[in-house]
Amino acid sequence: MAFSKKFMTVLAAAALVVFMAQGAFAAKSIKLHHINPNENFGNPSGASALVFKNLVESGSNGAITVEIFPNSQLGKDNEVLQQVKSGIIQMGIHSTGGLASVYPMISVLDIPFGFPNHAAAYKVLDGPFGKKLAADISAKTGMQCLGFNDSGGFFQISNSKHAIKSAGDMKGLKIRTMSLPTHQSFVSSLGGQPVAISWSEVYTALQTGVADGQMNPIPIVEFAKLYEVQKYLTITNHLFAPQMWMVNQKFWDSLNDEEKVLIKSSVYAAITTSRGIANAIEASDRGLPFLKKKMEVNSLSSEAKAEMSKIAVPAARAIIEKTFGDEGKALLNEFLAAVAEAGK
């Protein structure tokens, strides 16, 4: 009898928890897009999407379900952003190239050699500047920006022609970039030829010689197997391009306070995961140690970085100031001030 009474008490308590959870979390479904494979340990966006799904579904006691669409299954990144905006899907983890289609001023983050290291990048994106940038993105796109993923770390340059050891070695190289004027100006200011190619076509373009090289973080070079069609890899650390968590505004407004807290906290945990995974992959046998066995790898000297910076930074700054006027110039200066403060 005592056991039966205790069992009934536990059962009643469990039922109360379920009832409370159902009261706080109404039945909802989230469709989530990202551009890479769904892998826990394979790439940052895949890992963070899976972490988000687990935390939301368990935290809502299954009331909120998350369906992930990886590998750009729903279309190109900029196209899917329009799906998020119109409410066809609820969320996406988007590249700076994709976001630029609705918020071109994301280019302020593209000042070459702007971030000195990972710690400064994370501090800036999580701090007052990052919060202001997210709010501006939200206000001007009609979608909620909830934070900044690590896309895989700093950008490096690979190519099939020769090692890059100085600014002069970029001359004549056809380098694939995202369709961002600031990314393209980095290449062109150093004498290279930028070639805007969608991510799904990059491997073939490198294989066939449409492009001689490309620039991306090390984990992306590895999981996309670009080492199969590229001989040289230069560690430049010249750009850090985050990914943005974007949410349909109508869906966001439909959430109650508890649901918003759950979504926000799950996104933050997912962002933290993306950063850990990016750094872990880069240092693992799937990162730089692996690529050193497949490619000729060299690092830019501090003198070569200074030489490139002297040429490329004014070019990027000129594009930002010309394109976005006083507003862009002010946001750029705030960004640089935040970087300087984070680097102390």
Each residue's pLDDT tens digit, 317-335: 999 999 999 999 999 999 9
**Per-residue pLDDT reduced to its tens digit, 60-118:** 999 999 999 999 999 999 999 999 999 999 999 999 989 999 999 999 999 999 999 99
Rounded CA separation 275/148 (Å): 10
**Per-residue pLDDT reduced to its tens digit, 142-172:** 999 999 999 999 999 999 999 999 999 999 9
Rounded CA separation 300/233 (Å): 11
Amino acid sitting at position 229:
V
Give the residue among 290, 283, 276, 228 at the shortest CA–CA distance from 40. Answer: 276
Per-residue model confidence (pLDDT) at position 223: 86
Per-residue model confidence (pLDDT) at position 14: 40
The sheet carrying 143-149 orders its strands as 64-69, 28-33, 91-94, 243-248, 143-149
Domains and CATH numbers, the chain: 13-151+241-281 (3.40.190.170), 155-240+285-342 (3.40.190.170)
Orientation of helix 257-283 relative to helix 44-59, angle to 10°: 150
CB distance 264 to 131 below 8 Å: no
